[in-house]
Structure 1
């Protein structure tokens, strides 16, 4: 073509009457669309204004561009409804791309006038209402249609495509969803359904690409679409997240020898999984995770799909040994076998041959043996994520590993039977490491100096005996878990001066001793501090009050003495927002290769399936004792938790009334100390409190009657003190508390106690101590 303008915009548009092609995409142009100034462009055939910042509505003057064959206004900020009457005047229009804007309302019936339309892309807008079958049925020239990510409702029948003999690409991705645990899509109020079976029809088209995830596909029957039996040219099929049932559609692979991608994720398919003997040479992407497949994998699976790059069969019921032929898939970039019942040893062929792996997930199986053998070559390759947790793997980590060029970012070998020393190469050579979880194994000896990870280190529940914080890189780490080891000594003062980013510090159940250094107060971002079950002593330092963002503090089961700091009222004990210190749940860490299905168009469109591996550090989770039980709080639930536990120490003096200013706190435990004085009336201001334990102290006086205003209180105990007078009325939550909440206070009276308040002894004796010496909380 002649008369082409590629990108300039600072021109008198009225002087370009003979222009045939105008391309101004990705130029940061803004304002409203200049169609009014373009009314004389009678020869314009191609108009591409995508990737700018145009705003406003679709101008009615668009109808004057009568020669248009292709127009793209995608990736702008346009809104409002379509002026279909004006669009309908573009009789020659073959390609219309309005994707990634804010258009809304229904699809107007006048779109059916665009009978020459070959490409229609309205994805990523806010169109709503029922999708008119008559509009789609009349567009019989369509080859490419994409209506994904809108707000359509009602039922759409695929029989509307019965006469579309040229159709090659169909994309209807459901709009309303969120990413749940394990990257599983969780549908939210999706009212759009696609029915392919009724009424009966036969397709006249041969598709190349079919993308229908999360569409409530065939909701009544849950059957895989029958029209797929007629397809022979498919290259990409995605029918994930639809609750479809039946056996594995092996015929789909047999009939479509050019198939590159098959995604059956999150359905109800079940039974044995069998691939055809041949016909799989082009298959590079296979995902049937979150289904009900069972049995063993075919012994020669690796030879049947040798060019596979992506295989995800997690969350099924596969069992038995992993075939060694899986090592023949030398092009694999992601392999996820997690959450099955595989057993036996991991084949050496997989470990040695699949050196292109970026993601390897074998967690939650029954694998055993030593995986870290001499043939394990991943630490100096492209591997970025290695998850082996919750298996029965044994052995030691290799003492010497060439990690030059390693890109490993996440290493999780927790809940296995690994033993031996933590090698030094894990400490200093993995410079991209952001999450390291080696918890619940039998590692012993010292924690190596210079050990680091950008977000999380979890070495809890091992047999580690030595930790020198002064030589561990705490500058970047945000969550440090060392619970349940045999670590001794005191906390060095200098170690905290460089720990600005620390959010979680868990060193519970070790053998630390001495005083808490004042320098802990510099941890301005700390939200979770867990020091219980050690031998710390001395007074609780006032510098803890500098931890303005603290939400959970557990100092229980130590030897702290002195009084409770009055300045604790300065602490927020508000929402943790544990993910503030983590990458966003949808952060992109890994990008897998595109699978491109070419489509010849004026706008030069290909369909690209660009898959992203979404990974975050394992959701932060902690155990915290409240309501007499040890609860495990994780992710969003942890975000909502707040608590202060000072139980089982040697604290003396009065309870500071200032603690009543901690209104956001949910759990407060001061039991098993030597506290005296009365229960502060200010505790009635702890309006969100769910658990209050003041038992096993020397408290005296009355229980404030205003505590009945604590409407969320589920657990309350003042047992074994020196309290007297009438207990609070059995109203609200106090109507649920039994004798055990008050036992060991012989001068308390009134229901639920058997003692009547008509007779009150003159002077209360010393409190009766419980015979239970276990200091249960």
Structure 2
């Protein structure tokens, strides 16, 4: 409070000094003084140090911008600088005390010798929205010791904010936002600790990278604190919420910033509380309803949980409420019906249940209602027709039932409607939506209705749509009215009953605007007479997956981000034109009949490509060798082709790689030890090739630090088991993960128009094939927790190390060492793999007893030690009582259940130490008569760490299924 009184006294003193001279002079003789000559000179020098670039959007973003300094001239009667545009003088003494040059098209650098800093009487300085060419803020700003207002926002300054700012002790408003500035030395605390008069502080986008200093809670005059996207971290000081004059608090987009909301047992003038995209957590206190001045609450994408307090309904001035992307549960409070000033209500992506409260019909000022991706049930309230100002209604991804109410068709201002992924019933006529003349975005995909598009719709629809989602709407043909659409940006017709050929007119639909085309999961057989290069110049996503399409590959726009044509019957080579798709993020050509060699340009995609999936085709030849550093590739799948030769060593430069699958080809090479420095590589599958030779694990520089799925089966590797790689593994760090996540890559597509911004996340989950219990199993998704080693069907020799159980593989679920030439005892330390579910060490030359300690593996569902030289009693109890007799056959010395041989007496018989003969049938990958069941299910995992042939109880959302979509409508 003392600092506030001091600041007020300073302001009053300036006003008093401005009037002393006036009081001494009779009013009839008053003549406003001209500006001082030396200050006029300083101003002209300042003007001459910049170029004035008119009407350039890179210099100014303000449509009302104009070059204010153009009036600064000595020509004619214009020598009084106090009359110049943007200049303010003290009326009593003529000194320049204010300079407002915001949006003045100034371009050029500013340095410490600038004449600006000679204007020592300046109290207010505004240079916002100009272009100072990335120059630093000069330290001589401290010369302007009387400054109370400084705005340098959005003016292309860069570098460290000078410590000299701390000397401007009279500053009440400081705005340095939207530049390229940083605060390292001094810290934020040191910078502002002397600025005790601060009322407004805006450091948005300043790179601070520190905690929020507690001393900010001492700035009792502070009315506005904006620290948007400053890379702040640590716990937010709760005392800032208690500042007596604070009206605006904005710390949005500081993901490392934690904190909680206090119990608001005091009166506060707070009007805007913006905590979005931080890590604030906990429950919302019921006392938040005491903040009666609030107009904006933005808690988008935080970690808040619990029930939404009904006391929010007390905030009668609230205009904007966003609680989306948290984990709130329970019902939407009926008290929200009291928020009669509310314009936007965001409750999306939570865990809310129950019906939409009918009290929302009182929100007559509402223009946007967002409830998507919750667990809301019941029917859409009829009273929504009262919301006549509603322009956006998004109820997607819930469990709403019944018919789509006719009251929706009375919302005459509706422009955006998303009802997708619900449980509506019956048929709905498209003509009803056409009556909403302002409607441009309509999403009905997977909402349970059959859409009826009559012939009259085709003839009478003059309406121009921008987004149409008709997936799963039981359509049998392409809607003819699409032929007249030229503003369409998004079109989804997936999962319908559309057969045959794509109509020729389709290739002319919205050529200049279409960004997303989804035709997947239909029965299309031909693309018809399409141009080789598809005509949509802005196309970002082309999804033709899971049809019956034949012919050569179409080539979409060079701007395409995601090209998805898997599970069709395309033939021929990959056209060379694909090399021009320089923005491609996901290329999925898998499960087709494509052939020939790969274009050598594939490595050119390194700057953008995240996923390359060409599995299950008949490509041949060698893989392009020149993969470049800086590549963003995360997943490569070449499974089941006819590739030959060596693996390209340049893949070691692709440091972002998570998954590499070269299985079922004809590669002839040694083990790629050189991949061992890839820090993110989780999955390496080399199964069924012609790899050979020993695997060198003694080179410490090759550590495979993240490897957790390692399949070398059906090759000709020799020497000892390559287990030393896992001395360095950090895969066990995932054991403490709270949520089950998949090995996947997220490709992001951002689409924006006048109504909403959409952030679409295409989550591409890695799919793999592994042999488990003798079954070839197709896993559509792989959990991050899953760890598996398959070294089977090679020529490995020597003992299984006793230390195997001490490896850093606590999450190991599958271990297959079968069909090798391993000798020695079964290590007791295997008991340490407490999550092990499948253990196969059959078809070796192991001897001795089966360790009793293996009965401690309580998750073990499959166990096979057949065809070895084992002796003694089979362990009894727990999981061992469930294994069939063929798990132990081919060991004449074993006895006990489930074998018929009783354990009366036995002698330990060790095999002679002869060199093992080569297996006569080693060239055959299935030499021991495995029963192969293609695309079978997994081995019944107790903890469900793999999804095989993914089965869903409910197709929750077409967008989640297709894109793993996350929407942001802001």
Normalised TM-score (structure 1): 0.78
Q: Deviations over 1:310-329 (max 9, x none)?
A: 22233x34231112322322
Measure how far apart 1:715 and its partner are. Answer: 1.2
Aligned to 1:391: 547
Greater Cα offset, 235-244 or 439-448: 235-244
Task: Specify the SS of the correspondent of 1:319.
Answer: coil
Aligned residue number for residue 863 of structure 2? 716
C-alpha distance in structure 1 between counterparts of 2:241 and 2:654, whole Å: 57
Are residues 679 and 171 of structure 1, via their aligned partners in 2, closer, same or farther at CA, if it must alter by over 3 Å? same
Does residue 1:643 correspond to 2:820, yes or no?
no
Question: Offset of 1:262 from its aligned partner?
Answer: 1.0
Map of 1:478 onto structure 2: 634
Choose which of 750, 759, 765 in structure 1 pairs with 2:896: 750
Counterparts of 1:442 and 1:235 in 2: how far apart (Å)? 47
Quick check: 2:794–2:819 contact (8 Å CA) kept in 1? yes
Residue 850 of structure 2 aligns with which residue?
703
Distance 1:62 1:129, change over 3 A: farther
Give the C-alpha shift of residue 369 in structure 1. Answer: 0.6
Query: Which residue among 367, 373, 391 is the counterpart of 1:235?
Result: 391
Deviation (angstroms), 1:540: 3.9
C-alpha displacement at 1:228, in angstroms? 1.5
Match of 1:72 among 248, 264, 273: 248
In structure 2, the CA distance between the partners of 1:547 and 1:458, relative to structure 1 (3 Å rule), is: same
- Say if 2:742 and 2:765, in contact at 8 Å, map to a contact too: no
Q: Deviations over 1:254-294 (max 9, x none)?
A: x2332211122332123223233643442222223331122
After superposition, the Cα gap between the structure-2 partners of 1:558 and 1:475, relative to the gap in structure 1 and judged at 3 Å, is farther
**Partner residue, 1:429:** 580
Number of the residue aligned with 1:684:
831
**1:484-495 to 2 correspondences below 5 Å:** 484-488=640-644, 490-491=645-646, 494-495=649-650
Distance 1:50 1:24 in 2: 6
| 3-state SS in 1 of match to 2:505 | helix
Offset of residue 461 of structure 1: 0.7
Which residue does the alignment assign to 1:42?
Answer: none
Alignment match, 1:169: 343
- What does the per-residue CA deviation read over 1:304-349, in whole Å, with 9 as the maximum and x for residues that have no partner? 37422222233x3423111232232221222222233333333333
Asked if 1:32 is matched to 2:213, the reply is no
Match 2:681 to one of 519, 526, 533: 526
- Counterpart of 2:727 in structure 1 is 570
CA shift, 1:172, in A, is: 4.5
Pick one of 196, 200, 220 that aligns with 2:357.
Answer: 196
Matches of 2:742 and 2:866, distance apart in 1 = 39
Superposed, 1:117-516 pairs within 5 Å as 119=295, 121=297, 123-124=299-300, 131-132=309-310, 136=313, 139=316, 142=317, 144-146=319-321, 148-149=323-324, 155=331, 158=334, 161=337, 167=341, 169-174=343-348, 176=350, 187=351, 190=352, 195-197=356-358, 203=362, 205=364, 207-213=366-372, 219=377, 222-249=378-405, 251-253=407-409, 255-276=410-431, 278-294=434-450, 297-298=453-454, 300=457, 304=461, 306-314=463-471, 316-355=472-511, 356-370=513-527, 373-374=530-531, 377-378=534-535, 381-397=537-553, 406-426=558-578, 428-452=579-603, 453=605, 454-471=609-626, 476=631, 477-488=633-644, 490-491=645-646, 494-516=649-671
Q: How far apart are the structure 2 equivalents of 1:524 and 1:210? A: 44
Which secondary structure does the structure 2 equivalent of 1:572 belong to? coil
CA positional deviation for 1:459: 1.0
Are positions 1:670 and 2:822 aligned together? no
Q: Is 1:172–1:211's contact at 8 Å kept on the other side of the alignment?
A: yes
Q: Which runs of 5+ in 1 are unaligned?
A: 39-46, 66-70, 177-186, 596-608
- Following superposition, the deviation at residue 421 of structure 1 comes to 0.9
Structure 1 SS opposite 2:426: strand
SS at match of 2:508: helix
Task: Flag the 1:258–1:712 CA change in 2: closer, same or farther, 3 A.
Answer: same
Q: 1:159 to 1:698 in 2, by over 3 A?
A: closer
CA distance in 2, matches of 1:519, 1:249: 63
Max radius of gyration: which structure? 2
Give the whole-Å Cα distance in 2 for the aligned partners of 1:245 and 1:196: 15
Give yes or no for the alignment of 1:590 onto 2:750.
yes
C-alpha displacement at 1:444, in angstroms?
A: 0.8
C-alpha contact 1:540 1:560 (8 A) present in aligned 2: yes
Say if 1:653 and 1:100 are closer, same or farther in 2 by CA, change over 3 A: closer
Matched, 1:96 2:278: no
DSSP 3-state at the match of 1:733: helix
2:572 counterpart SS class:
strand
Alpha-carbon distance in 2 for matches of 1:99, 1:226: 33
In the aligned structure 2, how far is the partner of 1:522 from the partner of 1:202? 60
- Shift of residue 542, structure 1, vs aligned partner: 4.0
> For the Cα contact (< 8 Å) 2:173–2:200, is it kept in 1?
no
For the residues of structure 2 that align with 1:466 and 1:565, how far apart are their CA atoms?
29
- Cα–Cα, structure 1 residues 742 and 127, in superposed 2: closer, same or farther, change >3 Å? closer
The whole-number CA distance in structure 2 between the counterparts of 1:160 and 1:717 is 62
Whether the aligned pair in 1 keeps the contact of 2:150 and 2:173 (CA below 8 Å) is no
Q: Please give the root-mean-square deviation of Cα atoms over the aligned residues, in Å.
A: 4.3
Other-structure match for 1:556:
713
The count of residues paired between Structure 1 and Structure 2 equals 699
1:367-406 per-residue CA deviation (whole Å, 9 max, x = no partner) reads: 2212682175347x211221111111111025xx696xx2
Three-state SS of the structure 1 residue aligned to 2:855 is helix
